[in-house]
Amino acid sequence: MELLACLNRVLAEPVSSRFDIPPWPNSSMDGYALRAHDTREGGPGSPVELQIVGTIPAGSVAGHPLGAGQVFRIFTGAPLPDGADSVIPQEEVQVQDERIRLRRPVAEGEFVRPRGEDLKAGETALEVGQVIGPAQIGLLATLGRSRALVFRRPRVAILSTGDEVVDLGGEVTQGKIPNSNSYALMAQVVEAGGEPLNVGVARDRRESIEERLRWGLSADVLISSAGVSVGDYDVVREALRRLGAELHLWQVAMRPGKPVTFGSLGGRPIFGLPGNPVSAMVTFELFVRPALRKMAGHTALHRPQIRARALSPIPNPGGRRGYLRVTVSAEGGEYGARLTGNQGSAVLTSMVSAAGLAVVPPDTTIPAGGSVPVILLKPFPS
């Protein structure tokens, strides 16, 4: 893949340097290249004078070696001339009549970037599995690489179902709701490193759902939202079976998001997520996101987790483990967590406010001051 298109993807090959970087000793300052030995007698009361015998701009090389008692005017990045071993910055010398005067001894190697300081020829520069950021792009360019082999982003088909769901641009009349799930899930797919394919909204009829599912099977992963519970119109699982899918899991003891289905068809993972928008987003975070990151070559699959002090009680009634939306703050050297408010599975504003998901056992209330694990959904200072 072309170099800039590799940004934020995962490297699929080790990259080694074909040459030393830098390939020759060069100056790290604008100044004068010299032999440190020639300055050993320099001091505040005994300046040393050396003759300027040439200039080396960046991108050029000296026309001849440096002799005893001589210096080259040199600029940052220019290669040292043969015979030189040090550089003194221009602001530390006096210049007169093609000679410089300096009042201190210069240490060997001073202001010189040695050959191979960054990388030696044959040394591994980037490992498989590294996420390519701007620094990696710069290093690949330094290595002369215009392309790199990266893991492909998984293509993820997203289907929403329901007679009540109206896609964007349609008229939302009484009894109808806008199609928020497709767009929230597509955004989560992009954030996880995938490429979303919107296969639209299917009616609550097996034929309509099967038609859309067949379209979605052109992707690497298929996600549906709604239609996987136990109602009369929940027919997604039946449609998947008719298409030949093998269903491995149905229902998880969690809140929100109990009616989750996982299956496969032709080696392709299929996720049936709940229809309530918060449930769909939370189950995506816990089940789909790690799978997509694995497929995209990442080694860090899960969100970071911290322990926080409950700033007010965090109740989780009922017999299912709770993944409850909380704000997160840093107070007195520790994290604090507080419920975002109404934890209803249709209250999408609770996800907007949430920095994390507090993980609370069944039938448990974390008291104010108690400790609770929190899965961070947003970057937060260490």
CATH of the domain at 359: 2.40.340.10
* Tens of pLDDT, residues 322-381: 999 999 999 778 999 999 999 999 899 999 999 999 999 999 999 999 999 999 998 865
Residues 181 and 291 in one domain: yes
Q: What is the pLDDT of residue 98?
A: 95
Q: Per-residue pLDDT for 129 more than 50? A: yes
Residues 312 and 257 in one domain: no
Residues 238 and 281 in one domain: yes
* CB 93, CB 75: distance < 8 Å: no
Q: What is the pLDDT of residue 316?
A: 97
Residue ending a domain, choose from 235, 265, 295: 295
Q: Decide if 121 is inside a domain.
A: no
Q: What is the pLDDT of residue 19?
A: 96
Q: Decide if 150 is inside a domain.
A: no
Residues 286 and 339 in one domain: no
Q: Decide if 166 is inside a domain.
A: yes
pLDDT band at 236 (very low <50, low <70, confident <90, very high): confident
Give the contacts of 288 (CB within 8 A, at least 6 positions apart). 188, 192, 221, 223, 271, 273
Give the span between the Cα atoms of 56 and 74, in whole angstroms.
5
Give the span between the Cα atoms of 246 and 10, in whole angstroms.
30
Residues 161 and 287 in one domain: yes
Residues 285 and 257 in one domain: yes
* CB 182, CB 158: distance < 8 Å: yes
For 66, the enclosing helix (H) or strand (E) is none
Residues 75 and 190 in one domain: no
Residues 267 and 187 in one domain: yes
Give the span between the Cα atoms of 160 and 177, in whole angstroms.
12
Q: Decide if 147 is inside a domain.
A: no
pLDDT band at 79 (very low <50, low <70, confident <90, very high): very high
* Tens of pLDDT, residues 35-53: 999 999 988 888 999 999 9
- The mean pLDDT value for 293-299 works out to 96
What CATH code is carried by the domain that includes residue 106? 2.170.190.11
pLDDT band at 165 (very low <50, low <70, confident <90, very high): confident
Q: What is the pLDDT of residue 332?
A: 79
The helix/strand/coil state of 42 is coil
Q: Per-residue pLDDT for 230 more than 80? A: no
- Show the tokens assigned to 85: 């071993």
Give the span between the Cα atoms of 209 and 235, in whole angstroms.
8
Residues 162 and 257 in one domain: yes
* Tens of pLDDT, residues 132-149: 999 999 999 999 999 999
Q: Decide if 149 is inside a domain.
A: no
Q: Per-residue pLDDT for 84 more than 90? A: yes
* Tens of pLDDT, residues 186-228: 999 999 999 999 998 888 788 888 888 888 889 999 999 876 6
Q: What is the pLDDT of residue 233?
A: 47
* Tens of pLDDT, residues 268-293: 999 999 989 999 999 999 999 999 99
Q: How many domains are contained in the chain?
A: 4
Q: What is the pLDDT of residue 228?
A: 63
- Show the tokens assigned to 40: 């050993």
Q: Decide if 172 is inside a domain.
A: yes
* Tens of pLDDT, residues 64-78: 999 999 999 999 999
For 234, the domain range is 155-295
Residues 164 and 280 in one domain: yes
* CB 21, CB 141: distance < 8 Å: no
Residues 134 and 9 in one domain: yes
pLDDT mean across residues, the chain: 92
What CATH code is carried by the domain that includes residue 166? 3.40.980.10
Q: Decide if 381 is inside a domain.
A: no
Residues 173 and 57 in one domain: no
**Lowest pLDDT segment from 7-16, 156-165, 193-202, 226-235:** 226-235
* Tens of pLDDT, residues 302-334: 999 999 999 999 999 999 999 999 999 997 789
Q: Decide if 118 is inside a domain.
A: no
Q: What is the pLDDT of residue 243?
A: 87
Q: For a pLDDT cut of 70, what percent of the chain falls above it?
A: 95
